Amino acid sequence: MSNDNFTEVTSESWFSRLGGAIKGILVGIVLIIVALVLLFWNEGRSVKEYKTLKEGAGSVISVASDAVDPANAGKLIHTTGKADTKAVLNDPIFGVSANALQLRRVAEMYQWKETSHSETQKKLGGGEETKTTYSYEKTWSASAINSGDFRIPEEHQNPATMPYESSTQLADTVSLGKFSLPASLVERIDETKPLVIQAADIKKMELPTGIKLQAGGFYSGMNPAAPKIGDQRITFEVVNPMEVSVIAKQVRDTFEPYATSAGGEIELLETGIHSADAIIQHAQESNTLMTWIIRLIGFILLVIGINMEFKVLSVIADVLPIAGDIIGAGTGIIAFLLAVILALATIAIAWIFYRPLLAIILLAAVVGVITVIKLKLNKQPKVAA
């Protein structure tokens, strides 16, 4: 064992594994319930967002940003122009300043990081032996890593906190032509550029003790070429004035979320000049992507949960490891198929509430999957009595 690598071998008896599998049944039930609720909720969320954006597409009006028309008060408007500001943002600790929409301080600390890799081998009689290798490496991280959770914390200790943390400042007043952008939209403008600090920029600055200029940023430590645990490097980024496109409700000379009859809200911003149709289409595409991501998460939770219900069978069979592997493979396939059926059925039931016509098609697919499974089972050779 070296200081930066440690291998630990643990054993678990068959009775202990069996007890864990029995307890896992309850955990599996919770996971299944969570997955079903998540899948059902996701369909409602998706339909609500789709209807919200569709309603917005039918009611949005495009206006020029060089004038504010009081007649459009309360309406959903689309406008484009340069998001600009006269504000000069100033970092309170390092004194860095810039005329920008956002000023971001990015602080990183040199710390220990733990990674682990485990290999489990079944033993005759149903027990298991697990070999876990812990590796430690030094890395720069933008957040504090808790070394107290390490397997070997004594030789790999990190500072409990970061002396300097990352932060973001927003310009108080940002204009879009004759309109004013609220903070909720300013913070969505995320095209950043590095702000390089020169020696001339810090002549009149009173830097914190131990801070020095390094590679266009600041450094806290003895030698940047040979960093030590606890050293920090601080850089800055800015979001400069740029062209943006907005869809939101006009309230006097600013914007607020637009409430739709579908129950959702519309407050959209994209960098660059885009038509209202393009922005709505991009939002619909994002909604579709999010819907499928949550569906996948729900499906995975179902597979894990159902597998935990069957785990006790493979553990019992693990008295003879090869038998446990066969049972485990079989229950894994069954868990996958049951997860498919439950996921499709849950989505179909949700669609009965939200998309009745599509629900009929999906329920037909569920019936088809069940029929295929029955046919496959019926084709299995029967064992003579």
* 268 neighbors 283 (Cβ within 8 angstroms): yes
Of the candidates 274, 298, 322, which is a domain's last residue? 274
Measured CA to CA in angstroms, residue 36 lies from 61, 340, 344, 359 at distances of: 40, 12, 10, 16
**Tens-place pLDDT, residues 94-132:** 989 999 999 999 999 999 999 999 998 988 888 899 999
Residue 366 bridge partners (DSSP) = none
Long-range contacts of range 328-331, CB-CB < 8 Å, 24 or more positions apart?
331/307
* 258 neighbors 267 (Cβ within 8 angstroms): yes
- Position 333 in a domain: yes
- Position 2 in a domain: no
User: Residues 250, 148: one domain?
Assistant: yes
Report the amino acid identity of residue 115: T
- Position 147 in a domain: yes
Of the candidates 274, 298, 331, which is a domain's last residue? 274
In the chain the first and final C-alpha atoms are separated, in Å, by: 58
Of the candidates 226, 248, 274, which is a domain's last residue? 274
Tokens 């198929």 identify what position?
337
Distance, CA of 213 to CA of 74 (rounded, Å): 50
User: Residues 374, 292: one domain?
Assistant: yes
- Position 1 in a domain: no
User: Residues 113, 33: one domain?
Assistant: no
User: Residues 30, 119: one domain?
Assistant: no
68 has a pLDDT exceeding 70: yes
User: Residues 76, 35: one domain?
Assistant: no
Helices 14-59 and 321-354 sit at what angle, rounded to 10 degrees? 20
pTM of the model: 0.85
Report the amino acid identity of residue 227: P
Distance, CA of 248 to CA of 269 (rounded, Å): 9
Q: Average pLDDT over the chain, rounded to whole? A: 91
Distance, CA of 344 to CA of 350 (rounded, Å): 10
User: Residues 135, 230: one domain?
Assistant: yes
Per DSSP, the three-state class of 173 is coil
- Structure letter (DSSP) for residue 385: -
Tokens 């390094």 identify what position?
214
Report the amino acid identity of residue 358: L
Tokens 């040979």 identify what position?
226
Per DSSP, the three-state class of 149 is helix
User: Residues 160, 189: one domain?
Assistant: yes
**What range defines the domain where residue 267 resides?**
61-274
- Position 298 in a domain: yes
Distance, CA of 27 to CA of 299 (rounded, Å): 16
User: Residues 368, 247: one domain?
Assistant: no
358 has a pLDDT exceeding 70: no
362 has a pLDDT exceeding 90: no
- Position 106 in a domain: yes
- Position 177 in a domain: yes
Question: How would residue 86 be classed by pLDDT, with cut points 50, 70 and 90?
Answer: very high
User: Residues 298, 189: one domain?
Assistant: no
User: Residues 252, 309: one domain?
Assistant: no
The per-residue pLDDT for 202 is 73
User: Residues 224, 292: one domain?
Assistant: no
- Position 11 in a domain: yes
Nearest residue to 176 via CA among 263, 266, 271, 60: 271
User: Residues 113, 197: one domain?
Assistant: yes
- Half-sphere exposure (CA, 13 Å, Cβ side) for 79? 27
Virtual torsion, Cα 287, 288, 291, 293, nearest 10 deg: -110
Q: Identify the weakest region by mean pLDDT among 145-154, 169-178, 222-231, 349-358.
A: 349-358
- Domains in the chain, number: 2
